[in-house]
Structure 1
Amino acid sequence: MKAVILAAGYGTRLQRDVSSDRTGRFAHLAGIPKPLLPVGPCALITHWVRALTAAGSVDCIYVVTNALYRAAFEEWAADFRNVKILSDQTRSNDERLGAVACLQLAVQHFTIQDHVVVVGGDTLFKEDFSLREVQQRFSEVQAKCGDGCLVLSYPCRDQETQKYGILEVDGDLRVVCMKEKPLPSETESRRACPCFYVLSEESLPLLDVFLQQKKDAPIEEKDAPGNFVSWLIQRKPVYVHQILGRFDVGNLPSYVECDLYFREKLPDVKSYMA
């Protein structure tokens, strides 16, 4: 199994917050891509590399970044033998390819012919999350249907449905559909779907089909990876693995909350997520 960490975003909201902060406490974060932000004892993305390596199910980790941040990621990756960096060749947010195109780029560039764990580079999970449990659940899905894929869900509150992609599932925890930021009245589900997927090898060619269909669509339709998952649900079996929650580093307050949690509340960071 391979892993692709999507890290080509420009963190415009976070950098705007850092620039406008008058306390000076966060000046050291200026110009740092979100996956390389310090979270507790190490960079956010380092938590993923350590967990993916410790879990033992992934033999190579591909990180897709952009040309602006490529040197910073290559310097960080020098400490890891199983990490390879790929640039999407863009240098600004206006040029961005979008997360789905970045995933396709990694699959094509590295000629990936294997199941793929896809991870959002600005996301971490609560300590109940276990990659070994995810692997076990994915194996169960594969036993049911060899082309099956796996996504995560965690409970959200009524007022939060409009912030996330919301999964609706059947009694077997197979996803029936994903509604993008629905009103609470538009769905009974409260299952938010974070950017963490296990895509079967058989599903990877559909990246080309999706992007070909969306070639003339606005960048927003190709940027959010959940748009591909929503489209994929109608074409491949997709099942759910349930977790308690996540950290989504989108702006400065969410970063501060995440960093504080890791520094003060996470008891055993060495075994985290593995």
Structure 2
Amino acid sequence: MKAVILAAGYGTRLQRDVAADTSGRFAHLVGTAKPLLPVGRQALISHWVHSLTASGCVDRVYVVTNALYCAAFEEWATQFTNVEILSDQTTTNEGRLGAVACLQLAVKHFDIQDHVIVIGGDTLFKEDFSLRQVSRRFSDLQEEGDGSCLVLSYRCEDEETQKYGILEVDGELRATCMKEKPAASETASRRACPCFYVFSKKSLPLLDSFMKEKQEARIQERDAPGNFVSWLIPRKPVYVQEISGRFDVGNLPSYVECDLYFSEKLRGLDSYMV
């Protein structure tokens, strides 16, 4: 299995917050890509690489970034032997390809013909999350031979449904649909779906079908990777594994919360997410 970490965003909200901060505490974060932000004792993305490697569930990690941050990611990657960096060649947020296009780019560039774990580069999970458990669950699904995929969900509050993609599932935890940022009155589900997906190799050709269908659509329809998951659900079996929650680094307060947790509260760094 391979891993693709999506790291081509420009972190515009976070950089605005850092520029507006007058305390000086966060001046060192100016111009730093979100996945490279220091979280605890290492970069956010390093937590993923260490966990993916220790779990043994992938043999290669591909990171898709942009031309602005590519050199910084290449320097960071020198500490690992199983990481490769790919630039999407964009230089501005307005000119971004979008997350689904970046995933498609990685699949084509590295000629990926294996199952793929797709990870948002600005996301970390709570300590109950286990890559080995995810890998076992996914392997069990593959025995059915229908190319099933696996996504995660955690419970959100009523007022948070409009922030996330919300999964609706049947009694076997198979997704029946995913609604993008619905009002609480539009769904009984409170299953938020973070950017962590395990796509079967049988599902990867559908990336081309999705992108062809959306080629004239607004960038927003190709940007959020959850849009592909929503499109995929009627076409391939997509099952859900439950977790307790996540850290989503979008702005400065969410970064501070994440960094504080990993600096002061995390138990067992060596086993984290493994």
**Aligned pairs for 1:106-117 within 5 A:** 106-117=106-117
Question: Alpha-carbon deviation of 1:146?
Answer: 3.2
Letter in 2 for 1:19: A
| Structure 2 residue matching 1:16: 3-state secondary structure | helix
CA contact 1:118–1:199 (8 Å) conserved in 2: yes
Aligned to 1:78: 78
Question: Aligned partners of 2:107 and 2:187: how far apart in 1?
Answer: 34
Question: Aligned partners of 2:185 and 2:90: how far apart in 1?
Answer: 40
Letter in 2 for 1:212: K
**Aligned pairs for 1:50-89 within 5 A:** 50-89=50-89
Q: Which moved more, 1:102-111 or 1:138-147?
A: 138-147
Aligned to 2:11: 11
Question: Aligned partners of 2:89 and 2:44: how far apart in 1?
Answer: 23
Letter in 2 for 1:38: P
Aligned to 1:185: 185
Question: Alpha-carbon deviation of 1:273?
Answer: 0.3
Letter in 2 for 1:236: K
Matched, 1:194 2:194: yes
> What RMSD in Å do the two structures reach over aligned CA positions?
0.6
Aligned to 2:250: 250
| Structure 1 residue matching 2:202: 3-state secondary structure | helix
CA contact 2:55–2:131 (8 Å) conserved in 1: yes
CA contact 1:154–1:193 (8 Å) conserved in 2: yes
Aligned to 2:27: 27
**TM-score, length-normalised on structure 2?**
0.99
Q: Deviations over 1:74-108 (max 9, x none)?
A: 00000000000000000110110000000000000
Aligned to 2:214: 214
CA contact 1:249–1:258 (8 Å) conserved in 2: yes
Letter in 1 for 2:194: P
Question: Aligned partners of 1:144 and 1:165: how far apart in 2?
Answer: 27
Q: Deviations over 1:102-145 (max 9, x none)?
A: 00000000000000000000000000000000001101211234
Question: Alpha-carbon deviation of 1:184?
Answer: 1.0
| Structure 2 residue matching 1:202: 3-state secondary structure | coil
Letter in 1 for 2:90: T
CA contact 1:73–1:85 (8 Å) conserved in 2: yes
CA contact 1:145–1:237 (8 Å) conserved in 2: no
Question: Aligned partners of 1:140 and 1:174: how far apart in 2?
Answer: 14
Question: Aligned partners of 1:146 and 1:127: how far apart in 2?
Answer: 31
Question: Aligned partners of 1:190 and 1:46: how far apart in 2?
Answer: 30
Matched, 1:156 2:152: no
Question: Aligned partners of 2:44 and 2:182: how far apart in 1?
Answer: 30
| Structure 1 residue matching 2:72: 3-state secondary structure | helix
Letter in 1 for 2:208: D
Q: Which runs of 5+ in 2 are unaligned?
A: none
| Structure 2 residue matching 1:93: 3-state secondary structure | coil
Aligned to 2:224: 224
Question: Aligned partners of 1:242 and 1:135: how far apart in 2?
Answer: 14
Q: Which runs of 5+ in 1 are unaligned?
A: none
Question: Aligned partners of 1:273 and 1:265: how far apart in 2?
Answer: 15
Q: Deviations over 1:186-237 (max 9, x none)?
A: 1111100000000000000100000000001010110000000000001000
CA contact 2:146–2:237 (8 Å) conserved in 1: no
Question: Aligned partners of 2:145 and 2:17: how far apart in 1?
Answer: 45
Question: Aligned partners of 2:218 and 2:24: how far apart in 1?
Answer: 37
